[in-house]
Amino acid sequence: MTTSNLRAKAQLLHSLHTPGRPLALANGWDVASARIIEEAGAAAVATTSCGVAWSLGYADGDRLPRELALALIGRIASAVGVPVSADIESGFGDDAEGVAETVRGVIAAGAVGVNIEDALADGPEPLRTAAGQAERIAAARRAADEADVPLFINARTDVYLRAVGEPGERLGAALERAAAYIAAGASGIFVPGVTDLAVVAELAKNIAAPLNILTGPGGPSVAELAEAGAARVSIGGRMAEAAYGVVRHEAREFLADGTVTPAVDGLGYGDLQALFTR
């Protein structure tokens, strides 16, 4: 993909983040799921780190080798026509330069957005320091600028997801981190773990960038989150979990009873073939 095409897709991805009229992202984890999501009418496709890791034989949480992640991102980006945003966990790098190297690989693979989280999977603390994470985001932005692509950097803070600090202090902590990440070059802020619409509204009002909220079964709808000011709504690993749940249900029944009772209506062979014969 040419640099001009990447720039155009990145600009389109930026334009889709509108407070009150959010970008709804159903997260895929392989080429087939990405094509199904696109065929359903998605304006963009995002990957889910846990689904990607599981599909490639790894646990989630900075355990997937960078090269495997980049290879899959490239396969997805080449298979769909809409912009792709890649979940790169905490950047697949031990330091800021490692994150920059990952971002260069993401852009070369054809994706025009990334999620970068501040969680420490196996660290002594649940989160990186705000200053340390800001350095990693700044490195990602420099790498994108050098490639002349306005990459959408969705900076994720796990203050709520990891239940860091006292409950009454989390909003302030999330806002402080958001401000630091925006100053470092983030395009948007992702705060998973928040489902209280009043908190979403406070985040949206006080963050000077598009706000991404995670939802799922039993969580707020896209319309409710739009009213609260969200500019992006995603469902993370939910669909990967559901798909693997179907596999387990049918495998257990078949191996135990010799029968197959569909848990959901599956796609037919012809429907799936059609996704790859355009």
Kindly state the percentage of the chain with pLDDT values over 70. 100
Q: What's the DSSP call for residue 187?
A: S
Upper half-sphere CA count for residue 109 (Cβ side, 13 Å): 27
pLDDT (average), residues 204-222: 98
Look-up: residue for tokens 């600090």?
165
What are the pLDDT digits (tens) for 20-63?
Answer: 999 999 999 999 999 999 999 999 999 999 999 999 999 999 99
Q: What is the pTM of this model?
A: 0.96
Helices 170-184 and 197-206, packing angle to 10 deg: 40
Contact of 182 with 216, CB cutoff 8 Å: no
Q: Where are the beta strands (DSSP E) in the chain?
A: 23-25, 27-28, 45-47, 84-87, 113-117, 152-156, 188-190, 211-214, 232-234
pLDDT (average), residues 106-110: 98
Terminal CA-to-CA distance of the chain, rounded, Å?
19
pLDDT (average), residues 114-130: 94
Place 278 in a pLDDT band, splitting at 50, 70 and 90: low
Three-state secondary-structure class, residue 216: coil
